[in-house]
């Protein structure tokens, strides 16, 4: 199994959820445009004032995505089954 990473963007405030959802639209466009394999984008509502948009992808794409998309943070992603 290939090692994966999770790149995250944090959004805070009363419109955090809507902004995170909209950010995911652009992340998915980028994934399609760049033809990134094994890559997904989604968002998570943490609270009513905090949401996260994220990409889960192969570790080999880390440098490319970090430089192009400027995530707020990243972490090693471990799949749970």
Domains and CATH numbers, the chain: 4-74 (3.30.70)
Closest CA to 51 of 12, 80, 81, 14: 12
Predicted TM-score (pTM) of the model is 0.91
> Is it the case that residue 45 has pLDDT exceeding 70?
yes
The predicted model gives 47-55 an average pLDDT of 97
Instruction: Characterise 6 by phi-psi region: left (phi > 0), alpha (psi -120 to 50), beta (else).
Output: beta
**Which pLDDT value is given to residue 11?**
98
């Amino acid at each position: 199994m290939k090692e994966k990473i999770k790149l995250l963007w944090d959004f805070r405030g009363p419109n955090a959820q809507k902004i995170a959802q909209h950010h995911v639209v652009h992340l998915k466009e980028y994934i399609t445009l760049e033809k990134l394999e094994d890559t997904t984008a989604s968002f998570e509502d943490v609270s009513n004032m905090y949401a996260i948009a994220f990409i889960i992808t192969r570790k080999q794409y880390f440098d490319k995505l970090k430089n192009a998309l400027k995530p707020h943070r990243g972490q090693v992603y471990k799949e749970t089954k």
